[in-house]
Amino acid sequence: MLSRLNKKIILLCSVEAPFWSDALPKVTRLHIKSALGISPTTMIKWEMGGEVRDVSLHRAFRIMGETVSKRQSIAKDARADILKKIEELHIAIFDNDTSVYAFGDLLGFDKTQSQKAIDQEVFKKIPVFRDIYYEDSPRDRSMVQKHFDAFGGCYHVYLERGERTFRSVLRVRYPLHLKTLWTIRAKLNLPKYVNTIGKQKPFFEYDGFLSIKSDRIFWMFEERDNLNADFFHMITERPDLLEGGGMAEGKYLTTQRGRDASIIAARMLLERREIESAAEIEEFMASGMALIEEPFDTVLKKVTGDISTT
169 and 35, same structural domain? no
**Quick check: is 309 in a domain?**
no
Residue range 260-278: mean pLDDT, rounded: 91
What pLDDT score does 47 carry?
Answer: 85
Could you tell me the CATH number of the domain that includes residue 267? Answer: 2.40.128.120
Over residues 152-175, the mean pLDDT reads 96
Task: Quote the number of domains for the chain.
Answer: 2
Tell the burial category of 232 from Cβ atoms under 10 Å away from its Cβ (0-12, 13-18, 19+).
buried
Q: Is residue 65 in some structural domain? A: yes
Question: Domain end: 122, 152, 174, which one?
Answer: 122
Same domain, 269 and 174: yes
Same domain assignment for residues 69 and 163: no
Q: Report the C-alpha gap between 185 and 308 in whole angstroms.
A: 35
Question: Does residue 196 share a domain with residue 137?
Answer: yes
CB atoms within 10 A of CB 258: 7
- Helix, strand, coil percentages in the chain from 3-state DSSP, rounded to 5: 40, 30, 30
pLDDT in tens, 5-40: 999 999 999 999 999 999 999 999 999 999 999 998
Q: What single-letter amino acid sits at 246?
A: G
Cα separation, 221 vs 258, whole angstroms: 19
Which residues pair with residue 182 across a beta bridge?
Answer: 134, 177
Q: Is 231 helix (H, G, I), strand (E, B) or coil?
A: strand
pTM strictly above 0.85: no
Query: So what's the pLDDT on residue 227?
Result: 59
In a domain, residue 66? The reply is yes
The Cα 143–Cα 133 span in angstroms is: 11
pLDDT in the model for residue 310: 35
Region 281-297: mean pLDDT is 95
pLDDT in tens, 114-125: 999 998 887 775
Are 267 and 183 contained in the same domain? Answer: yes
Q: Given this model, what pLDDT does residue 228 score?
A: 66
In terms of residue numbers, what domain contains 91? Answer: 4-122
Asked if residue 174 lies in contact with residue 112, where contact means CB atoms within 8 angstroms, the answer is yes
pLDDT single digits (tens) 73-104? 889 999 999 999 999 999 999 999 999 999 99
Taking only the tens place, the pLDDT of each residue in 35-66 is 999 998 898 888 877 889 999 999 999 999 99
Among 122, 150, 173, the domain boundary falls at 122
Do residues 18 and 108 lie in contact, with contact meaning Cβ atoms separated by under 8 Å?
Answer: yes
Long-range contacts of the stretch 58-61 (C-beta < 8 A, 24+): 58/90, 60/36, 61/36, 61/86, 61/89, 61/90, 61/93
Mean pLDDT across the chain, nearest whole number?
90
In a shared domain, residues 216 and 289: yes
pLDDT the model gives residue 122: 76
Domain annotation covers residue 292: yes
pLDDT at site 276: 85
Residue 308: CB atoms within 10 Å? 7
